[in-house]
A and B are shown apart, each in its own frame.
Chain A
């Protein structure tokens, strides 16, 4: 059935975005703007494929992807938190570094392929017509991504640690004055962000298109970044946004195939256009109810000793 097929593809297209954006949301909520998502994703992809190819296990591959992304994030944390370097410049440099490093890691794996991540199959349940495969027939990454974003929501709004993290992002000076370890919390948030980006990247060569080629993230890291702004830093909206962006990408392909005469260039630009609209709305709202962005986002923090 066409609708079921469309839904299945939409979920596949949205999952890497959701994974990478979830991590970035946490990092930005702690007040760190890491523009290196694309770099961390592509390193995660390379490490993920290398791990899965050498070990023969998708699970180990995913773990390698997570570690790869986190390792790159550690470099970023060292620069921006340890040395209080400019976050924007360091983030951009991180992307450049990541693309280079991933090419190096992946060089020996070009032209190799693996069996993709297995899909869940529950007898009878998965066979339910229409929604069976959509809900009960996905690969593990999809369920992880949904659990992850739900967990992040719970953490940010229902735990004390989450409250502290948000406080650090909103006013690092006050948080510091209250005795919270601002830099340590931020470092953990950055590492978590890197791990999620790495997992999102690993999804590409492990489940999406099970082979490695250089540059295979093809700008998804930038869409993930846009997504965090689009969601105005709210987990629920982030999940919605990820599936919306995924749906736009897939539906425009279907619209073209069906000969509906949609201008494909415009549709390709749509996620970015939507983000610009949200940014405009945010600046407009700033004068009224205050910006939803964490107030200390992107600012370096040097504790006075």
Chain B
């Protein structure tokens, strides 16, 4: 299927290429891993792309390829965009890393941007979000709102980003209630609404009254709404699916970053780099705090401000591992970015094991 899509896209792009060069617009391409209709990860990137169109109007031209496989198709898709005359290309999933790096080497005159990866080049920049900052706030809210003192967490895959998210949430929860418990279910998928809903039901049936998720669909939120418990949204504001359930949501806001990078590209000042934006840069945003008492709301807002202003760090030392020993503190007063990006252990207070460890 993807091949067909790609083939059709290549044809369309090839047809459009001639016309565009004459107008001298900057052509920008996006490669998406999912459908733009996922209402989650890919949807938020698409929001960014639309914002670019809005802002730069006829100075730029954008196109996107959705549902691109993280396998060999990725390389072909990216190359197709290059051949069609795109000068700035955003590849928006971790699994596109090697393909992007390879194509970037082949075409030194095209600028590439890869989300959530770590391979860089003089024409390949990386960008990602410090989503763990938001999760710390979720943990604090959960500790204040839970009656059963149990958080239910729907996790996707045991990669560092997910593990550090769970740890950040528990650190937040422990800062309010040291004995908070967390139940974790690994669903081994980013996206399966039915399974996410099942996991949410299982967690609720086992006594969790606050549901957090690191998967992409609003299924768990809707489940929480039906069950009359609370939940946190993921990627985008999911209040529509849980008007009485959503406490807040972590929103991936790529728009400011995209606007900034396109501006640089238009001025011919684009250089490579690595941006890991958080609450401060606005890449990570919190949806309005709803369905909670005012004092909890105030607490959440204060924590958000403290993290944004750099007054506090989520992983401030000492951070104790499950064995109770403090983890080496490589970042001075807090864990270094490298430690967070490679996190593969649970902190003290989480009973579960990281799968495969």
Contact = CB atoms under 8 A, between A and B. Distances in A.
Nearest to B4: A96
A209 B37 contact: no
A95 B4 CA distance: 12
B355 A254 contact: no
Contact of A9 (B38, B39, B201, B240): B201
A216 B35 contact: no
Nearest to A218: B192
B73 to A, nearest CB: 13
B222 A218 contact: no
Interface stretch (B75-83, B202-210, B276-284, B285-293): B202-210
B22 interface: no
Contacts of A216: 193-194, 217
Interface stretch (A98-106, A149-157, A189-197): A98-106
A95 B111 CA distance: 36
A264 B154 CA distance: 12
Given A96-B4, A218-B195, A254-B205, A268 B188 contact: yes
A21 to B, nearest CB: 16
Contacts of A218: 189, 191-195
A265 B222 contact: no
Contacts of B219: 209, 211
Interface residues of B, number: 43
A214 B36 CA distance: 8
B35 A214 contact: yes
Interface in A262-300: 263-265, 268
Interface stretch (A56-64, A73-81, A107-115): A107-115
Contacts of A211: 193, 218-219, 222, 241
Contact of B222 (A95, A106, A113): A113
A264 B202 contact: no
B199 interface: yes
B222 A209 contact: yes
A256 B1 CA distance: 34
A253 B189 CA distance: 13
A6 B222 CA distance: 19
Given A209-B219, A209-B222, A265-B188, A215 B35 contact: yes
A106 B39 CA distance: 12
A204 interface: yes
A220 interface: yes
Nearest to B2: A96
A2 B205 contact: yes
A123 interface: no
B185 interface: yes
B197 interface: yes
Contact of A209 (B197, B206, B351, B353): B197
Nearest to A253: B202
A113 B197 contact: no
B107 to A, nearest CB: 30
B184 interface: yes
Main secondary structure of the interface of A (DSSP, over half): helix
A172 B193 CA distance: 41
Contact of A95 (B1, B193, B199, B206): B1
B195 A258 contact: no
Nearest to A263: B355
A163 B39 CA distance: 48
A232 interface: no
B37 A9 contact: no
Contact of A111 (B186, B208, B240): B240
A181 to B, nearest CB: 34
Interface string B208-236: 10000000011100110000000000000
B94 interface: no
A218 B195 CA distance: 9
A249 to B, nearest CB: 7
Contacts of B192: 218-219
A125 interface: no
B139 interface: no
Interface in B258-302: none
B198 A249 contact: yes
B39 A254 contact: no
A213 B37 contact: yes
Contacts of A95: 1
A5 interface: yes
Interface string B318-356: 000000000000000000000000000000000111010
B222 to A, nearest CB: 6
Given A113-B240, A213-B37, A213-B39, A259 B351 contact: yes
A103 B217 CA distance: 16
A5 B39 CA distance: 29
B222 A257 contact: no
Interface in A1-21: 2, 5-6, 9, 12-13, 16
B183 interface: yes
B194 A13 contact: yes
A210 interface: yes
Nearest to A116: B226
A261 B355 CA distance: 9
A136 interface: no
Contacts of B199: 253
B198 A253 contact: yes
Interface string B32-73: 001101110001000000000000000000000000000000
13 contacts: A5-B201, A5-B205, A99-B1, A100-B4, A204-B194, A209-B217, A214-B37, A215-B34, A218-B191, A254-B202, A256-B202, A264-B186, A268-B188
Q: Ordered nearest first, which 5 A-B pairs have the shortest CB separation?
A: A96-B1, A214-B35, A218-B192, A253-B202, A110-B37
Given A2-B205, A253-B198, 15 more contacts: A96-B4, A103-B35, A107-B37, A110-B43, A111-B240, A113-B241, A204-B193, A209-B223, A213-B39, A214-B37, A214-B38, A219-B192, A254-B205, A263-B355, A264-B187
